[in-house]
């Protein structure tokens, strides 16, 4: 219905729209293309950028230069601009591998100032002080100098872009970018090649934005450095924040509102009575009023509606629909399994001759000099469950991260050896260790709230093929396949995270605080599932837990960590009476 209405509006503009309406519509369409490119980067991949104006300028200047050559006939300059924009996006994306948040935004802001400076120097050196002229384009028999024809071309290009990206986001690439946006660590833990897909987002979005710059050059017929101000760059951030950073429709809505706002205010000012009153004041200060209005609207949406206008309208529509149909807001939760299975008897640690993981002299030191782990020796035999116990802050999670690898931006140094099947993988990246079969279920950020349960399983499964047996092991998930993970209970999220790890056929499964915040019955059920995975597929498990009783009920062997060092180790029956564990973890006297 929404797209049908948009199509009707476009047809009316092309058939009965005035010259002024067509003029404004052309800029709306061009800026909408650029906003969709920025939404790709920020809303889908979660990477911050203020480089939109710079990329539009790059596309515009590339078009102005190429179109002045003998071979630069339309649409060649548009294609060249897309390629140049993609290359610049790759260059911008490289710092994103080390920078995040504010620092990444500042890096893209640096691109803006560099581009503006280079454009200014180019205009001065070529004598084009008032801007570069761009010849009117043509496409076969079509004269694109005709505004109505060019606006029709812009509508077709925008519709094609929306259709293309909507389908891309619907399948695996969209799930990969969503996982990176919501938790880069979690995405790396399930095997997403985060470096490749972050760079892909930068390259693709930059190419789209540069194309918008190329179309801007053809539409305005002149390219001048005065156009590409910081205010111009921020206006695109305002577009996607107002409309909704998470959707293409939001980017389109924001582009329409922000682009037409100055023209609407100007029209209001012209209709007011002249003669030195409010109308004259409004007319003479329209530029400053527009800037101030951007700021007020931006602050309002950031404080009161950070998801944007389109999601807010969607929620309001659903609420009204529910009111009309008298539908209750809550659904009954799936019933828990009635009787948890009994904890299995623990066994002595298997032979050290058959070891899948060995830590030898492992140490972890962070950038500030703090040492989280110091000279740890630990082994995980095949087919076994090994528990790593300790208080909060004892260094347990740092041990797991040393095994899976740290991101470069975390500035952590790993000492000693991490032997996986006898091969040292110390210092490898999370993506590299994941490819070797080491799968981590982290303590936090283990699921992606906007993705459904089915999307999670397809994302984690090799080639997107989910094992049917998963519904035998995790029956709760069968009733929740279409439910976004953000609406699951805590226990269901934990089960989904473990299920994602299992479908990846891990060589070694690392679990970080899986019982955290769960009720005892859910903890027991989840531990039973871990035992079933271990016994059914002979997958070795290294389980980090503060809940020592729960961990020891399923472990073959355990280590106790305190202040980054191993202070005790043994079978569960041996550790039950060990002074290092007795008072602090089991609640009994030493």
pLDDT of residue 164: 94
Query: Are the C-beta atoms of residues 36 and 56 closer than 8 Å to each other?
Result: no
Classify residue 101 by burial, with Cβ atoms within 10 Å: 0-12, 13-18, 19+. exposed
pLDDT in tens, 375-412: 889 999 988 999 998 888 788 888 988 898 876 666 77
* Peptide bond between residue 570 and the one before it cis (omega within 30 degrees of 0): no
Average pLDDT for the chain: 82
Query: Are the C-beta atoms of residues 512 and 441 closer than 8 Å to each other?
Result: yes
Q: What's the Rg (C-alpha) of the chain?
A: 29
Domain ranges (residues) in the chain: 18-228, 231-325, 355-586
Classify residue 584 by burial, with Cβ atoms within 10 Å: 0-12, 13-18, 19+. middle
Taking CB atoms within 8 Å and a gap of at least 24, the contacts of 462-467 are 462/503, 462/504, 462/505, 464/172, 466/503, 467/503
DSSP letter, residue 512 = E
Greater pLDDT, 500 or 393: 500
Give yes or no for residue 158 having a pLDDT over 50.
yes
Query: Are the C-beta atoms of residues 33 and 206 closer than 8 Å to each other?
Result: no
Rounded Cα gap, residues 131 and 309, in angstroms: 37
pLDDT band at 581 (very low <50, low <70, confident <90, very high): low
pLDDT band at 154 (very low <50, low <70, confident <90, very high): very high
Average of per-residue pLDDT across 542-556: 87
C-alpha 380 chain-centroid distance: 34
Which of 54, 184, 169, 43 lies closest to 119, judged by CA?
A: 54
Average of per-residue pLDDT across 65-78: 90
Give yes or no for residue 545 having a pLDDT over 60.
yes
Rounded Cα gap, residues 459 and 583, in angstroms: 43
Average of per-residue pLDDT across 514-520: 80
Give yes or no for residue 81 having a pLDDT over 90.
yes
Give yes or no for residue 52 having a pLDDT over 80.
yes
Average of per-residue pLDDT across 27-37: 95
pLDDT band at 193 (very low <50, low <70, confident <90, very high): confident
Give yes or no for residue 422 having a pLDDT over 70.
yes
To the nearest whole percent, how much of the chain has pLDDT over 70? Answer: 86
Fold of 355-586: Rossmann fold (3.40.50)
* Token couple for 338: 């009635």
Average of per-residue pLDDT across 26-49: 93
Between the two ends of the chain, the Cα-to-Cα distance in Å is 71
pLDDT of residue 48: 86
pLDDT of residue 219: 93
pLDDT in tens, 254-295: 999 888 887 777 776 666 666 556 666 666 666 667 667 767
pLDDT of residue 588: 44
Give yes or no for residue 474 having a pLDDT over 90.
no
Side-chain-facing half-sphere of 317: CA atoms under 13 Å: 6
Q: Which range has highest mean pLDDT (34-48, 86-100, 398-412)?
A: 34-48
pLDDT of residue 501: 87
Greater pLDDT, 488 or 66: 66
pLDDT band at 119 (very low <50, low <70, confident <90, very high): very high
Judging by DSSP bridges, how do beta strands 355-366 and 142-143 pair with one another?
A: unpaired
pLDDT of residue 35: 95
Average of per-residue pLDDT across 19-33: 92
Average of per-residue pLDDT across 534-544: 90
Question: If you search the block for the tokens 């062997």, which residue do you land on?
Answer: 557
Q: Which of 267-271, 333-337, 503-507 is least confident? A: 333-337
Average of per-residue pLDDT across 442-448: 78
Give yes or no for residue 89 having a pLDDT over 90.
yes
Average of per-residue pLDDT across 506-522: 85
pLDDT of residue 322: 60
Give yes or no for residue 353 having a pLDDT over 70.
no
Greater pLDDT, 117 or 352: 117
pLDDT band at 340 (very low <50, low <70, confident <90, very high): very low
pLDDT band at 151 (very low <50, low <70, confident <90, very high): very high
Give yes or no for residue 345 having a pLDDT over 60.
no
Dihedral over alpha carbons 98, 100, 106, 110 (to 10 degrees): 40
Give yes or no for residue 34 having a pLDDT over 90.
yes
pLDDT band at 16 (very low <50, low <70, confident <90, very high): confident
Give yes or no for residue 136 having a pLDDT over 70.
yes
pLDDT of residue 329: 40
Q: Which range has highest mean pLDDT (42-46, 77-81, 505-509)?
A: 77-81
Average of per-residue pLDDT across 532-549: 88
10 Å Cβ neighbour count for 143?
Answer: 12
pLDDT of residue 277: 61
pLDDT band at 37 (very low <50, low <70, confident <90, very high): very high
């Amino acid at each position: 219905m929404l797209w049908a209405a948009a199509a009707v509006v476009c047809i009316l503009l092309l058939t009965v729209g005035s010259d002024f309406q067509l003029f404004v519509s052309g800029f709306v369409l061009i800026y909408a293309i650029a906003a969709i490119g920025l939404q790709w980067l920020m809303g889908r991949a979660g990477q911050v950028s203020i480089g939109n104006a710079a990329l539009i300028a790059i596309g515009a200047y590339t078009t102005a230069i190429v179109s002045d050559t003998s071979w630069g006939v339309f649409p060649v300059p548009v294609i060249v601009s897309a390629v140049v924009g993609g290359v610049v996006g790759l260059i911008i994306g490289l710092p994103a591998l080390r920078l995040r948040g504010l620092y990444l935004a500042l890096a893209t802001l640096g691109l803006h100032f560099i581009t503006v400076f280079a454009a200014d120097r180019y205009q001065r050196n070529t004598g084009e002080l008032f801007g570069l002229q761009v010849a009117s384009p043509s496409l076969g028999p079509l004269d694109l100098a005709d505004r109505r024809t060019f606006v029709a071309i812009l509508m077709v290009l925008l519709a094609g872009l929306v259709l293309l990206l909507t389908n891309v986001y619907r399948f695996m690439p969209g799930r990969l970018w969503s996982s990176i946006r919501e938790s880069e660590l979690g995405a790396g833990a399930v095997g997403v090649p985060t470096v490749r897909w972050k760079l892909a987002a930068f390259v693709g979005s930059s190419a789209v934005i540069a194309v918008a710059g190329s179309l801007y050059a053809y539409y305005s017929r002149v390219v001048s450095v005065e156009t590409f101000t910081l205010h111009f760059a921020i206006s695109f951030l305002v577009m996607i924040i107002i409309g909704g950073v998470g959707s293409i429709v939001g980017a389109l809505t924001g582009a329409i509102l922000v682009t037409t706002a100055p023209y609407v205010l100007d029209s209001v000012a012209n209709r007011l009575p002249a003669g030195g009153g409010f109308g004259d004041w409004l007319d003479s200060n329209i530029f400053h009023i527009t800037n101030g209005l951007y700021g007020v609207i931006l602050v309002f949406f950031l404080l009161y509606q950070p998801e944007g206008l389109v999601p807010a309208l969607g929620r309001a529509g659903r609420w009204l629909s529910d009111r009309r149909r008298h539908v209750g807001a809550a659904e009954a939760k799936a019933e828990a399994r009635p009787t948890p299975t009994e904890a299995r008897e623990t066994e002595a640690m298997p032979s050290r001759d058959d070891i899948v993981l060995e830590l030898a002299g492992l140490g972890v030191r962070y950038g500030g000099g703090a040492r989280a782990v110091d000279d740890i020796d630990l082994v995980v035999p095949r087919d076994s469950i090994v528990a790593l116990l300790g208080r909060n802050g004892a260094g347990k999670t740092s041990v797991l991260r040393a095994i899976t690898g740290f991101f470069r931006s975390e500035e952590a140094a790993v000492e000693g050896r991490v032997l996986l099947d006898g091969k040292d993988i110390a210092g490898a990246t999370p993506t590299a260790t994941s490819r070797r079969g080491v799968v981590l279920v982290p303590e936090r950020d283990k699921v992606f709230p906007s993705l459904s349960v089915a999307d999670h399983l397809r994302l984690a499964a090799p080639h997107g093929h989910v094992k049917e047996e998963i519904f035998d092991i995790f029956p709760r998930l069968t009733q929740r396949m279409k439910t976004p993970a953000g609406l699951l209970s805590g226990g269901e999220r934990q089960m989904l995270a473990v299920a994602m790890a299992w479908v990846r056929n891990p060589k070694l499964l690392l679990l970080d605080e899986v019982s955290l915040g769960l009720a005892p019955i859910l903890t027991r059920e989840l531990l039973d599932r871990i035992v079933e995975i271990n016994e059914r597929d002979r997958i070795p498990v290294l389980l980090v837990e503060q809940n020592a009783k729960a961990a020891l009920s399923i472990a073959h062997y355990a280590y106790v960590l305190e202040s980054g060092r191993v202070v005790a180790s043994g079978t569960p029956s041996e550790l039950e009476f060990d002074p290092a564990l007795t008072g602090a973890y089991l609640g009994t006297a030493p």
